[in-house]
Amino acid sequence: MSRYISEKLRIKVIEEANNCCEYCLQSNLVSFYPHQIDHIISLKHGGKTELDNLAYACFACNNAKGSDIGTILLPNRTFIRLFNPRIDNWYEHFEIENGVIYDKSDIGKATIKVLNLNEVDRVIERQDMYS
C-alpha cells in the first residue's frame, strides 16, 4: 500500500474533478486552503492509490472524512457507506439550495452527516459563492 501519489495521477484527479471538491462541489479557486487528494476507501480499509479510488476534496471534507467509509444511520442503525464520486452521481444523492446540501438518498444522508457538509460556516461560504 502506497500513500505516494504521483504528479501525473494528482493532475488527472484534479482534471476529472474539474478543480472542485467532489463531495461539496466547492471550487479550489475560491477555497482558503488548497484542496487535497482523498483516498475514497482509505488505505487502512484496503483502498489503493489509483484513479478509481482517488477523489479531489476540499480541506473541510477531507478532514471530516478522515478514514471513514460509512456511518450508522438511525432509526434502523443500518450501516450506510459514504458517497463515492467514482461510482455515484452527485445529483442522484444530493441537491443544493441556497448553500444548503440536502440528501436524496441514505448515502447522501450518511455523507452529509460524516463530512459535516452543512456546518454553518460552510453553508455561509457556499451562499457567498453563489450570490
Binding mask 2-41 for Zn ion (x = CB under 5 A): -------------------x-xx-----------------
User: Rounded to 5 degrees, what are φ and ψ at 61?
Assistant: -65, -45
Beta-strand (E) ranges in the chain?
36-39, 54-57, 70-73, 78-81, 94-97, 100-103
The secondary structure element, H or E, covering residue 8 is helix 7-16
Among 51-59, 78-86, 88-96, 100-108, which window interacts with Zn ion (CB under 5 A)?
51-59
Q: Which of 17, 20, 55, 61 binds Zn ion (CB under 5 A)?
A: 61
**Residue 21 or 54: which CB sits closer to Zn ion?**
21
Q: Residue 75 Cβ, how far from Zn ion at the closest point, in Å?
A: 28
Q: Residue 52 Cβ, how far from Zn ion at the closest point, in Å?
A: 20
Distance of CA 55 to the CA centre of its chain: 7
Distance CA 15, CA 13 (A): 5
Q: Which residues in this chain contact Zn ion in the complex, by CB under 5 A?
A: 21, 23-24, 58, 61
